[in-house]
Amino acid sequence: MTSHAEFLRRVTLDEALSEAIKKDFRTADITSEEKVMLEYVEKITLRPARITSEDIDALRNAGFDDLAILQINLIASWFNYINRVADGLGVGRD
């Protein structure tokens, strides 16, 4: 999470936003669409087998088209994959 928060801070140039999202995205000053996206990302990270059509519908209702949903899924899945590779090899641990 630390490296992702640092990436977000560098991209947005907003340390307060990065910290707020890291602490709890639900209370961060982000759009309702961004919160729906992060709820999906959280679910695909913690409970991927529980993703349902309702989760996809929530993204569509928030304004994301199929390409955006695919991109959200692929990016979240890639980060999950690479984190597991790194964890499995003990990379980045103190």
* Residues 52, 91 share a domain: yes
* Residues 83, 38 share a domain: yes
* Residues 92, 48 share a domain: yes
Whether the Cβ atoms of residue 37 and residue 59 lie closer than 8 Å to each other: yes
Number of domains making up the chain: 2
Average pLDDT over residues 82-86: 89
* Residues 45, 1 share a domain: no
**For position 72, what pLDDT does the model report?**
97
Q: What's the pLDDT tens digit per position in 4-52?
A: 666 676 776 778 888 888 888 999 999 999 999 999 999 999 999 999 9
* Residues 39, 65 share a domain: yes
The CATH number given to whatever domain includes residue 87 is 1.20.1290.10
Whether the Cβ atoms of residue 15 and residue 9 lie closer than 8 Å to each other: yes
* Residues 12, 42 share a domain: no
pLDDT(1) > 60: no
Query: Which domain range does residue 92 map to?
Result: 31-94
Whether the Cβ atoms of residue 76 and residue 1 lie closer than 8 Å to each other: no
* Residues 5, 38 share a domain: no
* Residues 17, 52 share a domain: no
Amino acid in position 52: T
* Residues 35, 55 share a domain: yes
